[in-house]
Every structure is written in structure tokens, then in C-alpha cells.
Chains A and B, each alone.
Chain A
Amino acid sequence: MTQTHNGKQKKERFHQILDEVKDPEIPVISIVEMGMVHQITVEDRTIWVEVMPTFLGCPALEMIRSSIRERLLQEPDMDEVFVEFIRDPLWSSERISPIGKEKLAGFGLATPAMDGLDQVECPYCQSSGTSLVNLFGSTACRSIYYCRSCKEPFEAMKPI
């Protein structure tokens, strides 16, 4: 029982450590806050991390893999780290945590709801007087908007 308890504690600790691994394209938010970490399995000094990719062709995936490895290998009780990108379950923009959404807004990135492409709130002034400029943005997962109220361009995560 103590062992199970220790195992659970260990898992929680590693989960917290993963919260330090940032999304390389959006350095204010962690992969945990992005809702990308599906589950972790710890066995002795080995850990398996299952990650849900945001987009299949996301070029940041290999960077995320090596950041996870590097960070976890810094732990004295960790020798082996395996990162697997899984396709089931699917990542969805709805998996972004509330804290994650706040941080994205601070970064200038709105997080519209699934059917909310046309009603996106400006992350700077909260106005709803915004318009879609381009479905596609600086990365595969973003679109570009313009706020008619504060006259600022901003980006939004594509709802998927």
C-alpha cells in the first residue's frame, strides 16, 4: 500500500514537472495547460509520457519530445524517458485548461469555442467587435483576427 501511495506521489510530482515544459511556439503556456499530456506511466526509473499532438503536421512535436526528455532526465530518480505521440484520444482545443486560456489571452491569443469562429472576443480589450482576417496564421493551429475597437490585430487558436 505504501508502495502504491509512493507511486502515486511520484506520478503527481512528474506531472507537476511536466507543467514546466513549455509549448515552443507559445512559451507562456505549458504542455499540461495546453491539455496535451494524456497520461504518464512510471516504473522504477523509467517513465512513459503519452502526448496528444495538436496538429498532425506540427513541427514543434520533436522539440516538445526533446524538452520533455531533457527536463525529466534532470530528476535524480529518472533514467529513461519515452515520449509517445498518440492519436487516441484526440487533442481538441477544448482540452486547454482555464488557466491555459488565461495565459493565452495574456499572450494575445483568443480561444474561441467550437462553433465560435465568427464571435471571437479580443484578448486585449474584450470587445466582441472583431473580424476574421485569415483562417490561417503564423502556425498551423492559429487564425488571424482584427479588433475594430482597439484597432489591434490578434490571433486565435483554431477550434478543432
Chain B
Amino acid sequence: MSHEMNSLAPELLTGQQRMILVDWLTQLADDEFIIGHRDSEWLGLCPTVEEDVAFSSIAQDEVGHAVFYYELIQELEGVSADDLAFQRLAHERKNSLLVERENGDWAYTIVRHYLYDLWDQIRLDAMVESRYVPLAHGAKKMKREEYYHLIHFQHWFARLTKCGGEARERMKNAMELVEQDLDDLLDMGLYETDLFSWGILTKSSEEMRSEFYSRYEELWRDMSDLSERKLIFSKQISKGRMGQHSPALASVLENMTEVIRFDPNAQW
């Protein structure tokens, strides 16, 4: 089957399709933008100099992906990518609560990013054959870059859980903290069924989530003496995807919009 044959051309989208696509792109863009910013906050503070280097690169990749998604929205809505990134209020943001949380300790940082990247990979897999061709092209590119992030976090995750002692204890705490935000991360907003039925995604949200949970359970199993975990998605009232955020997002936004508030015409 060739998706090129019946692709959704930007100029032929109905108003409804456009709205749903923009909602989805906003979730993706905001997730990548905020986690990228959190990554950048580690600069100079990482446990090793190698990690300073790694986190700077990873931050740069994630923000680059956010720019890609913001530019797709720009093409559809005519609002500039910079304005989308810097001029929206907290309640207009659709990132998950997980990515806005403060960095916490190294264990939380690693667990959060690893689980986020596992989910991101599932999302990208569902987009590489998207009927919205510009999205499919970007997803292919991002998958190749994210491959390196996944290897990196996989290594850290394995090292910290296998070494025992304080590290393992902290990893366990981190897992429990991150787990509280997983439903919010895996929520795909009001229109998730339409994303699949219109071929913007080639997998249903249920399929994507069950794929994630089976990987998650594997992780718990690998950590042998950590108890078994069986997660079931409970779609409560969606928070992050609906613009309901924690105070942590406000402080991120305050920090990242400092320049533009000082000088709206600043060039960077």
C-alpha cells in the first residue's frame, strides 16, 4: 500500500482535519520543546563531563525536533514557529506533565527521559507512514537521531538499576514518581481516535499504549527483585494535553521567555 497515493495534502485538509492535526502537532512540539529545555538545565551540573556533552547534544536534538513540529504548524496556521514556542501562555501548552517536572536527581532524570523516549519511539513509528507526508518525512529523520538517545538512556538505566545500593534505591523511587505521570504522557488528547482513522497515525492509541506497557513491564522484570508491575491506562480527565499544568511549567516558561519579554524583536 502506498500512502503517497492517498496522502493528505496540506491545502486539501478540511477545517476539522486541520484542527486535529494542529492539536497533535502541538502536543509533540511542546513535549519536545519542554524536555529539551529541561535537558539543557543540566549543563555544567551533570555527574560527569561526558554527560554535560551528551545532555547538550540531546537538548539540541529535542529542541530541533520541536522546531520541526512548530514549523509544520506554521505552514498550516500561519503563526511563526518562534511565536508558537515563546508567545503562548501555560494553559495554551499541550505538553505532558511528565516533561515539565523539575529535573530532580540524576535517577529521576534518567528514568523520565528513558520512558519518554520509549514512548516517543512508539509515536514516531506510528508516523513514519503517515498520510500527512511532511510529518512522515520528519518522523523518519527523527527516528534516526533518537536512536542514539535510546541507546544512551538504556545504558544508564541498566547501569543504575543493576549496581545496587543507593543508586538502585533512587531508581526505584524515580520509577514510582514517573509512573504517576505515565497516563498523562500516554494520553493523546481529545482526538486520538481521529488521528488513527484519518491515517495521520498508522497505529491506534490503544495499540501504541499496549506496546508501551509491555515494554514497561519488561523493564520491571529486568530489575529482578523489584516487584511485578501491571499497568492499565486510565483515561482520567486529561491534564497536560488540555492545557492544565503544574507550577513547574510556569517557571520553565518564565525562564525561557526572559529574552523575548525584555526585547520582543530580539534576534537569536
A residues within 8 Å of B by Cβ? 55-59, 87-88, 90, 92, 133-140, 144, 158, 160
**How many B residues touch the partner, as a band?**
20 to 34
The answer, among B53, B60, B138, for a CB contact under 8 Å with A87, is B138
- The listed residue (B54, B56, B133, B145) touching A56 by CB distance below 8 A is B145
**Residue of A87, A134, A144 ringed by the most chain B CB atoms within 10 A:** A87
In the assembled complex, the CB of A40 is this many whole angstroms from the nearest CB of chain B, namely 20
Per the bound structure, the CA–CA distance linking A23 and B40 in Å amounts to 25
User: A133-B50, A136-B53 given as contacts; is B61 within 8 A of A57 (CB)?
Assistant: yes
Interface residues of B (CB under 8 A from A): 50, 53-54, 56-58, 60-65, 67-68, 133-134, 137-138, 140-142, 144-145, 147-148, 151-152
Q: Is the CB of A158 within 8 A of B148?
A: yes
Known contacts: A55-B145, A57-B64. The answer to whether A136 contacts B138 by CB under 8 A is no
Chain A residue contacts of B60, Cβ below 8 A? 57, 59, 140
List 7 A-B pairs, minimum CB-CB distance, nearest first. Answer: A57-B64, A136-B54, A87-B137, A136-B57, A56-B64, A160-B144, A134-B50
Looking at chain B's contact residues, the main secondary structure is: helix
Contacts of A55 in B (CB 8 A): 61, 64, 145
Contacts of B144 in A (CB 8 A): 90, 92, 160
Cβ B148 vs Cβ A56 within 8 A: no
Question: Please, how many angstroms separate the alpha-carbon atoms of A157 and B145 in the complex?
Answer: 12
CB <8 Å contact, B137 and A56: no
Q: In the complex, are the beta carbons of A144 and B53 less than 8 A apart?
A: yes
Q: Which of chain A's residues have a CB closer than 8 A to the CB of B147?
A: 160
A8 to B62 alpha-carbon distance, docked (Å): 40
CB of B101, distance to nearest CB on chain A (Å): 23
What's the Cα separation between A140 and B149 when bound, in Å?
11
Chain B nearest CB, measured from A131 CB (Å)? 13
- Assembled-state Cα–Cα distance A76/B145 (Å): 40
The chain B residue sitting closest to A117, CB to CB, is: B151
User: Would you give the shortest CB distance from A57 to chain B, in whole angstroms?
Assistant: 2
